[in-house]
Structure 1
Amino acid sequence: MLGLSGAAGVAVAAAGALGTGPASAAERTWRVTGEDVAPLAHFDDVMKDYMQARGISAGSLAVARNGKLALARGYTWGDDSVATTGETDVFRIASLSKPIAATAAVRLAQEGRLDLDAPLADLVDLSPLPGGTADPRLGGVTVRRALQHLGGWDRDLSGDPLWSTIAISRDMGVDLPLGEEEVVSYVSGAALDHDPGTTYAYSNYGYLLVSRAIAGVVGTSFEDHVVSDVLGAVDIARMRAGRSLSRDQAGEVRYESRHTSTSAVDMSGAQVPYPYGGFNLEIQLGNGGWVASAADLARFCTVYDTPDEAGVLTPESIDTVFAAPETGSGATHYGLGWSVRPTSGGENTWHTGSMPGTYTFLARSNGYTVVALFNRRKEGDDLDWGVIDPNLWDAIGEVGAWPTEDLTPIYF
């Protein structure tokens, strides 16, 4: 199975060693929480080797087979000053949020409440700032195209507005933090980088617009709708919208980064640890702002693994999610919120996520689902962080006889 890059950060305003980093290797010991399932012991080896090589102090793993939760573990590599990671502790999941948004949109389409081919401009106010002119091609940006990253925005050409709020606030002459409406008004006055539907270009901003379209259709907040109609349908209660500042968090792991940045959530101009105010997480719920445990995400995948039991999406809707886009398809393509690779037995589907203090991986294939979450991401090292993908699939191959116990009732 292959992996694709998830949400990427932008260059920091300043960098330096932080006091919140992990202890030295000589001082660290391993602590593992969650039920020890002997036939699945190789997964512990994979997680420990991966974390130790990269200096990761907190990780979480969930493994499911045919919709049944087989393993849920929390991993801590640190001294006594590092809090123990529980198997249900929540992490920022970064771009693993995109399958959540896409599922919410497709469920509404299934109910006849949202047309995936409706122009986003008919569902969201895309009026530019006074004196600005909207690109006439915005009318060609549909919900489906935004979910497939075919909307026409290209962060490699014009930057990612969700990671540029400090610069946007200065340009607009308004105070931080920026709200979603201000970001949308600002971007609506800029030209698209590509004609809609012609070029795949990963776009967090497109997912922000989809989340606002969903909120407009249902008449409540995007968060409330997802919690009640998607997560609640499969008994997920821990998953919620993340917050930028540590004072507004509860039950989350400690995020680590060697970088600092100018605060993006106030006007103090202070230098803060990049994961704690260097970017505005509150405006990124549609594309990367949820927090969840690995077990929560494995449970979410029952929407696709056991659709009749989950009762969220029909098989026809699931086909819509994984269908090839109008352009950019091939051996691997991006469906609605998922990377997809067709196989002889169906398809492999996956997503990764990355933001300061977070690296995440989720994949489904042939009845198996694996989720791994970590409290730091690649920062200047030359290691292959994507190797967690094949290593976890190797662990699946090491299992002789899968356990019959379903751990789901323990956690849900």
Structure 2
Amino acid sequence: MHQAPLSRRTFGKLAGVAGLGLAGALNAPAADAASTWKTTGTAVSALSGFDAQMKTFMQARGIQGGQLAVTYGGRLVLARGYSTDTALTVQPTSLFRVASLSKSVTAAAVLRLVQDGRLSLSTPITSLLDLTPPPGQTADSRLSQVTVQRLLQHLGGWDRAISGDPLFKDSTISQALGVPMELSPADVVKYMAGQPLDHAPGSTYAYSNFGYLLAGQIVEKVSGTTYADYVQQKLFTPLGITRMAQGWSVAKHSGEVPYKSQYTGTTVLDESGATVAAPYGTFSMRLHYANGAWISSAVDMVRWASAFDKGSKVLDGTSLAKVWTKPETGVNSGGSYYGLGWLVRPVTTGGTGQNTWHDGSLPGTYTFLVRNYAGASWAVLLNQRDDASGLAYGDIDSAMWTAYNGVTNWPANDLYPQYFS
């Protein structure tokens, strides 16, 4: 049955987009896509519409590397890598930065602690974290009203449209605290503990990367281990996910794609003032560890999405219900809202249930993950988010829905055994 694209009825520009956060210098325009078109993975004739949409989308924007995985009825029915560059071959298991798709991981980590009786969503963050401001500054008295749940639903009171995103204010924080770059998450927390909130907690939806940094800090405090180790042990291992890892600011993991951008900026990884390519040092992956630092393949992302299906191996029914909880405020006129790590839109025409999704965006990265009302899911990962054409990247949403609605007979194949032991 036909469904409208997810993003058209939600928050305007999708909530997961993270800006460059600095003054980027425009280099020469991105080159046109090469005449070559390379694909990897098994072609599935019944799903050729997905391949066609990816080709059109990537070539129009000059995107060199992309990846797509599609599931239906719990089966992995399509896993493909795409490239418009003769020098790059993208496999279905190649790794990409997934940016804000990481938020569903952090939310699930928090929920797993709640599920195991080690944490409550109603707990004030001031009882879990040291939020002592720098000397001479006073903490906002309303911080005690910021609960764990409000962090996860972007209701903590920080608004990057008003005060800027502290995860992209490295130089400002370094100078204010008198500490060198590269900053640590603790540096950002210390700085923000002395800054006033932009809104009363719980009163205003405002997408906050910083809120998810704090959620990552809570996971570490309560679990007694590192965020990455806890996620791997409690969430990824039960699902058979072994390729996902925390990405690095400059170095690449084995099998990780290169990232492309027409912009440059000043490095935040040291005090050198060096000009670097935007994807490699104009932001710190160390700071984004809980809100945007995971790397993954598309097949791993749809496997991860299955953690939110009924019968999940990592979250019980009570936890899953909490994922889709409506916030105390921030439900838009079309009924869409931000749950815990996912955007949610109840289906009111052409079906029942809900569509859930998230996008991710950093310099050199654009990603999109969807779980739809009919039991299908898809993940699109791209190694670029800008180009000289100015074409929107959010249009991948409608492109994938066009492909989905064009399938007349879903295949019975299952590629999961090929990619997971």
Superposition TM-score tier, normalisation by shorter sequence: over 0.9
1:170 CA drift (Å)? 2.0
Q: CA RMSD in A?
A: 1.5
How far apart, in 2, do the equivalents of 1:11 and 1:183 lie? Answer: 15
Structure 1 residues 226, 192: CA separation in 2 closer, same or farther (over 3 Å shift)?
A: same
1:55 aligns with 2:62: yes
1:23 CA drift (Å)? 5.0
1:98 CA drift (Å)? 0.6
Structure 2 match to 1:9: 19
Q: Is residue 255–residue 357 contact of structure 1 (8 Å, CA) maintained in 2?
A: yes
1:280-319 superposed Cα distances (whole Å, 9 cap, x missing partner)? 01111111111000110000011123x32x3211222111
Structure 2 match to 1:102: 107
Structure 1 match to 2:10: none
1:334 CA drift (Å)? 0.5
The amino acid of 1:228's aligned partner reads Q
Name structure 1 gaps, 5 residues minimum: none
Name structure 2 gaps, 5 residues minimum: 8-13
Q: Is residue 7–residue 204 contact of structure 1 (8 Å, CA) maintained in 2?
A: no
Deviates more, 1:2-11 or 1:62-71: 2-11
Deviates more, 1:55-64 or 1:393-402: 393-402
1:106-161 superposed Cα distances (whole Å, 9 cap, x missing partner)? 12111111111101111111111122211110001111001000000000000100
Q: Is residue 261–residue 278 contact of structure 1 (8 Å, CA) maintained in 2?
A: yes
Q: What SS does the corresponding residue of 2:279 show, helix, strand or coil?
A: coil
How far apart, in 1, do the equivalents of 2:74 and 2:106 lie? Answer: 21
Q: Is residue 5–residue 354 contact of structure 1 (8 Å, CA) maintained in 2?
A: no
The amino acid of 1:203's aligned partner reads S
1:378 CA drift (Å)? 3.3
| Residue number among 61, 68, 71 corresponding to 2:75 in the alignment | 68
How far apart, in 2, do the equivalents of 1:193 and 1:122 lie? Answer: 21
The amino acid of 1:49's aligned partner reads T
Structure 2 match to 1:90: 95
1:17 CA drift (Å)? 2.2
1:127-146 equivalences in 2 (<5 Å) = 127-146=132-151
Structure 2 match to 1:376: 384
Q: What SS does the corresponding residue of 2:395 show, helix, strand or coil?
A: helix
Write out the 4+ residue segments of structure 1 that deviate beyond 6 Å after TM superposition. none
1:5-404 equivalences in 2 (<5 Å) = 5-17=15-27, 24-25=32-33, 27-79=34-86, 82-246=87-251, 248-305=252-309, 307-308=310-311, 310-330=312-332, 331-344=335-348, 345-365=352-372, 366-378=374-386, 381-404=389-412
Matched pairs, number = 404
How far apart, in 1, do the equivalents of 2:17 and 2:394 lie? Answer: 14
Q: What SS does the corresponding residue of 1:360 show, helix, strand or coil?
A: strand
How far apart, in 2, do the equivalents of 1:277 and 1:382 lie? Answer: 24
1:198-219 superposed Cα distances (whole Å, 9 cap, x missing partner)? 0000000000000100111110
How far apart, in 2, do the equivalents of 1:392 and 1:227 lie? Answer: 30
Q: What SS does the corresponding residue of 1:116 show, helix, strand or coil?
A: coil
Q: Is residue 20–residue 363 contact of structure 2 (8 Å, CA) maintained in 1?
A: no
How far apart, in 2, do the equivalents of 1:379 and 1:83 lie? Answer: 18
1:340-393 superposed Cα distances (whole Å, 9 cap, x missing partner)? 011241111000111100011011112010110101113574323222112211
Tell me the TM-score normalized by structure 1: 0.95
Q: What SS does the corresponding residue of 2:394 show, helix, strand or coil?
A: helix
